[in-house]
Amino acid sequence: MTSGPVSLTLCAPLDGVVIPLGKVPDPVFAAGMMGEGLAIQPLSDTLLAPCDGAVMTLHAACHAITLRTDVGVDVLIHIGIETVALNGDGFTLHVREGQRVTIGTPLITFALDRVAQAARSLATPIIVMDGASRTIVVCPVGRVRAGDALMTIEAAHPQEARRSDDRPNDRLSRTVTIPMRHGIHARPAARISAALRPFTARVTFHNGARAADGRSTVALLALGASFADVVRIEAEGPDAAGALDALCDLIGGGMGETELRDAAPHASSDSIEAESPPVAELRPGVLRGVRASPGLAVGVAHRLEQDDRAIEEKGGSVAEEQAFLADALSKTRERISSLAAKGSDTQCAILTAHLAMLDDPALLDSARRLISAGFSAGYAWHKGLAEQAAMLAELDDPRARERAADLSDLDRQVRRELARETSRELSLDGDTILIADDLLPSQLIELDLSRVVGFCSERGGPTSHVAILAAGMGLPALVAMGRPVLEVANGTPLILDADAGCLEIDPPAARVAEVTNAIAERRCNRAIALRDAQIPCITADGRRIEIFANLGSVADAEQAARHGAEGAGLVRTEFLFLDRQCAPDQEEQRAVYQEMAEALNGRPIIARLLDIGGDKPVAYLAATHEDNPMLGVRGIRLALQHPELLECQLRAMAAVRPAGQLRIMIPMVSAVDEIRQVRAVLKRIVDEAGMPEAPQLGIMIETPAAAATAAVLAAEADFLSIGTNDLTQYVLAIDRGNASLAGRVDPLHPAVLRMIGLTCEGAARYGRPVGVCGGAAGDPDAAPLLIGLGVTELSMVPAVIPEMKARVRGMAYAAARTLAEAALLCADAEEVRAVVRAFERDVRA
C-alpha cells in the first residue's frame, strides 16, 4: 500500500480576483488563525466544488461550507465577511451534509448584489484546515475563472490522514473543574479563545444555567466560572474531539495561574522601609478606602474628568460606519500592541488581555449588528460594550465584576480613535494625587509618574487590573472609597496613606511635615539598604539570620543575586511542569536548576519537590475527583503515587554542580514514613551515580500535624521550612481563597505563632535549622516574631530583601524573643500587630 505523500489540486470555485489571505478584512482569516489559503473577490454567483470530496459541514446561515477532500484534508470556503448576519437571506443551497460531490458540482448560489450591500466584504476565503498538510499556491494574484487551477495541497496518504474516529459531525462533551485561583477572568478567557483557533468545531461552555461561546472572551467572562466550579464543555464538528482535548489540557493545566500558594504579598519599597507615621484618628476630613497598592504620599488633588460627551446615535451609510469602526479598531490594536511591547511584564500581560477582548467576536458582532440597524460606529461600539459590562457587573465574583472596567477602557479608546482625538495630556502642577470615579488601565499607563504620586477612586477593587498596575509601578492607591472622594476639590492638599487605607483631606501643616519626613526617611533607608544589600545579615546582638529568596524562574534567581539574597529558600519547581502537555525530562530539569545555581554563584538553593494536586493540578497526571482537594492527594502524597516522576526529579536535582549547593525539600509532609520513602529513593540514586554523599533533604511544615510532631520529623530531616500560607489556613480552618474571610487569614494569629514555636522547639532538639518561606517571611511585622520564636532563615520575594536585611540588622535577638513571648499571650492577630508596632517604637526610641 502506498504510504507516501499525495497531492491534490484545488480549482477556483468562482470567477473572480485572487487576493492574499492577509488582505481579507477580518483578523481571524488574515492572521491565518483558521489555516492557510487565499481568497477570491467573486465575480460570479455560484460556488462550485473545487475538487472531489464530501460535504462535511454546512453553516446554518448557508454562507460557509467545509469539504473533506479525498486526501483527508478539510477545505473551508466562506462566502464574504460577516455574512452570517444575513441568516441565509440571499443564499440557496444545492447540497446537503454528507453528500458526495465531484469537481464543479454547484454548492451554493448567492445573490451577488444583495450580499455585497449587506456584507462587510465579498472576499471569499478558501482555507485548508488540516495543519498537517502543506499548501502551495500556484495561481498568481489576479483574475481567475471557475475551474482554473488555484492551489496544490500535499498531504499524508488518505489512509494515514483519516483517523478512525473521524465522523462527519461529532458532538461530544466533557466536564472540567476550574483550577485557576481566580476562575476564568480576562487572561484565561483570552487563552481559551486562542486555543480554539486551529479548530472548526462549535464549542460552548456551560456553568449552571449560563452558557458561553468558547471563542468569545467576553462571553466567557460572563460565564462567571470561579475556582473549583465544574464546567461542561460541548463541541460539535469534525474536530470536536481535538478541540476538547486542547481545552481540557489547557484548563486542567491551570494556565500558570495556580502557582499562588506561597507567593509573598506584594510590598512596595515604601511599605516596609520604616513604620508609617501614626494615622490621624478618624475625623471629618479623613476618608477610608481599600488598599489597591501600598505606600505613602503627600500631594494636591486633581479630579480626573471622564469623557462623558454625548454620543451621536445615527450614522452615515452602513459601509461608511463599518469602515470607521474597522479603522478605529485597527489603530487601537496597534497602539495597545506598541504599549505592550515596551511595557513591564505586568503591563504586557494586561494589555494582551485587552487585545484579546478587542478581537472578541461577540463584541464585534454586536457592534456590526447595530451599525447595520442604522446606528453610528461610536454608538454601536459603546452600546455593545455597555451591555456586556452590565452582565459582568451582575456576577457574584468580584474579580469578574472588576473586568467591566476593562470593557469601559476599550470603549473609551476606540471611541477616541473614532473621534480622531490624540491622547490628552493632563496639566498637572507639582505632586498630584488623582481623584477619579474609576481609573482605567490605559489612563494609568499614560500618566506622567514624575508628577503623579498616587490616586484614589470612588469605585474599583483591590484585584482589578488598575490595582495590579499601580502595585507594579510603586504608586500608592486606594479604591472603593465611595462618593465622598469625588467631592474633594481640585488643589486640596492631601495625605494618601495607602498602607493604613486612609486619605487625609487638607491636613494640618504639622501633619504634612510629619508625613513628608517619613517619606524622605523611607527613601533614604531604601538607598542605604540597596547599598548594603550584599552584606551578611546579623542581628544587633550577633545572631546570624539568613535572608533568602523565593524563586519561580531563572530570572528570579538573577534578580535575587542583585538584591543581596544569601541563597534561595524556595525554588517552586512547578513552573517547569505546569501549562504543558507532558512532564519535563531529567535533562530539561537539570539544566534549569543548574542555571539557577550559577546565577546564585555558589549560594545555597533549596528546591522544593513538585508540589501539585490541590490547587495545582496538571493535565498529564490522571486525578480522581476530590471533594476537598486541598486535603487530598497533593504534594508528596501525589509524588509517591507517581514514582517515575519523583525519581526523575530527584536525579535532576542530584546532578546539579557543585555537589551540595542544591538542597531538596519535600512538600506537605505529615508523617515520618514520607521522609523515609523519599530518602530511600535518593540514596539509591546517589549510590548508582557513585556520589560521595547525598544532597541535604529537608521538609516543609504546612500542617498542624507536622508542626505538632516537628521533634519526630526533625530526627529524619536535615532542615525544616515553614510554609506559613498553608499553615495559617489549616490552623485557622479558613480558606485563603474565600474573599469574604480574607481579612481573617493572618499568620500573626497567636495560634499560628504557637505552631511555629513548636516547630522551632522540635527542630532545636536535633540542631536542625528552621526557615520560613511563606508570605509571613516578607512581612515586616512578622520578622521580629519569627526570629524571636527561633527561625534562622527568612525567604521572600527578591525585591524586598535589601530592606528586610536592614530591618533585621537593626533588631536584637533577645528583644525579639521577649516580643514573641508577649505575642503568644495575645487574643488575636490585631492585638499581636499592635504589640509589634509598640515594640518598633521602643526600638527606635
Q: Which residues are catalytic?
A: 465, 773
Please, which residues bridge with residue 538 across strands? 544
C-alpha 339/C-alpha 358 separation (Å) is 15
Q: Residue 104 carries which DSSP code? A: T
Residue with cell 478581537: 359
Q: Return the residue matching grid coordinates 498531504.
A: 155
Helical spans, DSSP H, in 175-293: 186-195, 217-222, 240-252, 269-272
Q: How far is CA 593 from CA 191, 602, 683, in A?
A: 28, 13, 20
Task: Find residue 500's DSSP bridge partners.
Answer: none
Nine cell digits for residue 381: 461600539
For helices 404-418 and 377-393, angle between their N-to-C axes, nearest 10 degrees: 170
Q: Are 537 and 563 contacting, i.e. CB atoms less than 8 angstroms apart? A: no
How many other CB atoms are found less than 10 A from the CB of residue 493?
A: 17
What is the DSSP secondary-structure string of 416-433?
Answer: HHHTTPPPPPP---SSEE
Mapped onto helix, strand or coil, the DSSP state of residue 100 is strand
The phi, psi pair for 433, rounded to 5°, reads: -110, 115
How far, in Å, CA of 798 to CA of 551, rounded?
Answer: 8
In whole angstroms, how far apart are CA 752 and each of 55, 597, 717?
A: 66, 33, 22
Residue 284: is the preceding peptide bond cis (ω within 30°)? no
Query: What is the C-alpha to C-alpha distance for residues 149 and 329, in angstroms, rounded to an integer?
Result: 36
Contact 664, 695 (CB under 8 A): yes
Give the Å distances, CA to CA, from 4 to 8, 159, 161, 607: 13, 10, 11, 48
DSSP states along 477-490: EEE---GGGGGPPT
Going by C-alpha positions, the residue among 484, 577, 562 that lies closest to residue 530 is 562
Evaluate the CA torsion angle 161, 164, 165, 166 in order and state its sign.
Answer: positive
Nearest to 719 by CA among 774, 779, 689, 759: 759
The set of cell numbers assigned to 333 is 490594536
CA dihedral 424, 428, 434, 435 (to 10 degrees): -80
For 740-751, letters b (16+ CB in 10 Å) and e give eeeeebbbbbbe
Q: Is the dihedral of CA 163, 165, 166, 170 positive or negative?
A: negative
Q: By CB neighbour count within 10 A (0-12 exposed, 13-18 middle, 19+ buried), where does 37 fall?
A: buried
CB 629 within 8 A of CB 693: no
The secondary element (H helix, E strand) that includes residue 725 is helix 724-732
CA distances from 682 to 122, 648, 685 (A): 66, 10, 5
CA gap 17, 21 in Å, rounded:
12
Closest CA to 325 of 215, 417, 422, 421: 417
HSE, CB side, 13 Å, CA atoms: give it for residue 478. Answer: 26
Cα angle, residue 793 at apex, residues 787 and 794 outer, rounded to 5°? 85
The answer to whether the CB of 653 falls within 8 A of the CB of 662 is yes
